[in-house]
Amino acid sequence: MRKQIAAANWKMNGTLQQANELLDGIINEKISYSPHREVVFAVPFPYLILAKEKIKNINGYKVAAQNCYTKSSGAFTGEVSAAMLQSIEVDYVIIGHSERREIFAENSKMLAAKVDVCLANNLSPIFCCGEPLQIREAETQNEYVATQIQESLFHLTNDQLKNVVVAYEPIWAIGTGKTATAQQAQDMQAFIRNIFKEKYGDEVAKNISILYGGSVKATNAKEIFEMPDVDGGLVGGASLSVPEFISIIKSLK
């Protein structure tokens, strides 16, 4: 079975005390994980080492950075390199979240470079793609998402792509309270899987994990995650609540 992932994207939230409480609250639940289930904590940079220490020697948990820079080192004040993240044994890096694209103007060429630098440092990118409301209303979301994927991932080899996780996030459903229906999520994620099948073949497409992100919460996670091409979620606001996120974790296939 493909890896089923509940990824908590804390974004720019939480004090050190709150980070401790969130991590402890979830880890202390002592959820039993089958080999194909995984929980990922995408915490702000100051808490990465804390999160790594908390999950040490506990099965089922990984840690992600929320971003990295395209260069390995140099005079880039305020940036964090993939080599730095590798040195503290981070597992994943979120690449191309809609907020990075929209607020910080990250384009497909930059995101392709970020994917490359992650893979070169043995970090697995969680590559985000998804359409804004006007694209969805124009019913051109398939072409829009296909372009995002082609421009940032299609230079990868089959072996490289095996280390990538994809997260489909309809931008109109992030932080708005709106959620794509389970069927809308399934339709797009099946489309994405077929894009990979056409480029890389059936074996690669069948095994790549594709997450859904967009107002996932305890009340809708199970219905969304039950869809055949949805392999878990990239969860924002609901991941800041211990009981909410625990419920979401337990909704994984």
- Per-residue pLDDT tens digits for 197-218: 999 999 999 999 999 998 899 9
Dist CA 154 CA 190 (whole Å): 18
- Output the six-digit token pair for 215: 């107002």
Q: Are 200 and 160 in contact (CB under 8 A)?
A: no
Q: What is the CATH number of domain 4-250?
A: 3.20.20.70
The answer on pLDDT for 1 being more than 90 is no
Q: Are 19 and 42 in contact (CB under 8 A)?
A: no
Lowest mean pLDDT among 2-16, 107-121, 169-183: 169-183
Buried b (16+ CB within 10 A) or exposed e, 103-134: eeebebebbbebbbbbbebebbbbbbbbbbee
pLDDT of residue 125: 98
The share of the chain scoring above pLDDT 70, in percent, equals 99
Catalytically annotated residues: 97, 169
Query: pLDDT tens-digit profile of 35-89?
Result: 999 999 999 999 999 999 999 999 999 999 999 999 999 999 999 999 999 999 9
| Helices vs. strands in the chain: H and E counts, helices first | 12, 8
The share of the chain scoring above pLDDT 90, in percent, equals 94
pLDDT of residue 180: 83
Dist CA 139 CA 47 (whole Å): 40
> What's the whole-number average pLDDT of the chain?
96
pLDDT of residue 14: 97
The answer on pLDDT for 177 being more than 90 is no
- Output the six-digit token pair for 209: 């994990």
pLDDT of residue 38: 97
Query: pLDDT tens-digit profile of 100-135?
Result: 999 999 999 999 999 999 999 999 999 999 999 899
Residue 223 burial (10 A CB sphere; 0-12, 13-18, 19+) = middle
pLDDT of residue 172: 86
- Please state the φ and ψ torsions of residue 126, each to the nearest 5 degrees: -100, 95
Average pLDDT over residues 20-38: 95
Average pLDDT over residues 163-179: 86
The answer on pLDDT for 173 being more than 90 is no
pLDDT of residue 214: 87
| Cα 81 from chain centre | 18
Average pLDDT over residues 130-158: 96
Q: Are 239 and 11 in contact (CB under 8 A)?
A: no
Average pLDDT over residues 225-236: 98
pLDDT of residue 241: 98
- Output the six-digit token pair for 30: 């002592």
Domains in the chain: boundaries = 4-250
pLDDT of residue 71: 96
| Cα 122 from chain centre | 16
pLDDT of residue 215: 87
Band (pLDDT 50/70/90 cuts) for residue 27 is very high
